[in-house]
Amino acid sequence: MSWRKFTTATVVAIFIAPSTAWANNGNDIYQLLSTQRCEQCNLVNAGLVRADLAGAQLQGANLSNANLGRADLTGANLRGANLTGANLRGADLTGANLRGANLTRTDLRNAYLRDAQLEGTTLENAYIKGAIAIPNSAASAQQYYQIAFAQAQQGNYETAVEYSNLAIRVDSEYAPAYLGRGIARYELGQEQAAIQDAERAADLFAQQENIAGVQTSQEFLQIMKTAQKVKEEQQDSGGGLGNVLTSVGSLLMRFLF
């Protein structure tokens, strides 16, 4: 690491980190920034915003509640690290080793996770909305669906379809993802695909004895039939159809979450 990089990173750490944290683990922070090595270190609450930590050796380090927002952690070794409550928003974790890391309440929103190694850990309790290139096996179908649902609520239907696809890839029998994808596809004008998704969702909900899911799927299918009839009669449906679709989404939210 060049002196310039070290100086910049050190200034960031000094001014971002709470003074108590620096007093408690200043030596460890200094060691990390100067050598890129700090295995088993105490880095609790450390302020490392935008720090250049590419390839850093942080095996088993305690980084709970540390602020690593937009830090460069490409290829970093965080195996077994404690990242509970850490801020990694927008951080670059491309190729990072996160095997066995504790990611409880870790903020990974908008982080880059391409080729990250996540075996032996879980994103189940992490914040991953907007995270890029999450390995397929790293998150649950419900997590992907929750993101898809949030995207649909914001009108980002293409993104909602993408996250629904990921949910289905993780669990091909996760019925809500089919129904959610169907609603998003309908909003994108992909009516036939939407019908197929709704029918698949209804079948899966029936197999799983989820009465609310079956009813919602059937209601959505009926909405699409009504809309098609209106189109054929060349009538203007006004805002009514949109309102019904919104109510279907609200019902999904109630019975799933």
**CATH code, domain with 225:** 1.25.40.10
Same domain for 103 and 44, yes or no, is yes
For residues 80-91, average pLDDT: 97
Same domain for 86 and 195, yes or no, is no
Same domain for 131 and 230, yes or no, is no
Same domain for 185 and 132, yes or no, is no
Same domain for 132 and 153, yes or no, is no
Q: Which of 95, 121, 139 is the last residue of a domain?
A: 139
pLDDT for the residue numbered 159:
87
Model confidence pLDDT, tens digit, residues 114-133: 999 988 888 878 888 888 88
Same domain for 165 and 196, yes or no, is yes
pLDDT for the residue numbered 178:
95
Best mean pLDDT range from 75-84, 165-174, 247-256? 75-84
Model confidence pLDDT, tens digit, residues 7-61: 444 444 434 444 444 446 789 999 999 999 999 999 999 999 999 999 999 999 9
Domain count within the chain: 2
| pLDDT band per the 50, 70, 90 thresholds, residue 5 | very low
Q: Which of 139, 161, 185 is the last residue of a domain?
A: 139
pLDDT for the residue numbered 223:
84
What CATH number does the domain containing 99 carry?
A: 2.160.20.80
Is the overall model pTM greater than 0.85, yes or no?
no
CA 70 from chain centre, in angstroms, equals 16
* Mean model confidence pLDDT for the chain: 83
Instruction: Pick 174 or 16 by higher pLDDT.
Output: 174
pLDDT for the residue numbered 88:
98
Same domain for 135 and 145, yes or no, is no
Same domain for 168 and 240, yes or no, is yes
Same domain for 134 and 156, yes or no, is no
Q: Which of 111, 139, 167 is the last residue of a domain?
A: 139
Same domain for 221 and 96, yes or no, is no
Same domain for 135 and 146, yes or no, is no
Residue 235 has pLDDT above 80, yes or no: no
Same domain for 21 and 47, yes or no, is yes
The range of the structural domain enclosing residue 85 comes to: 1-139
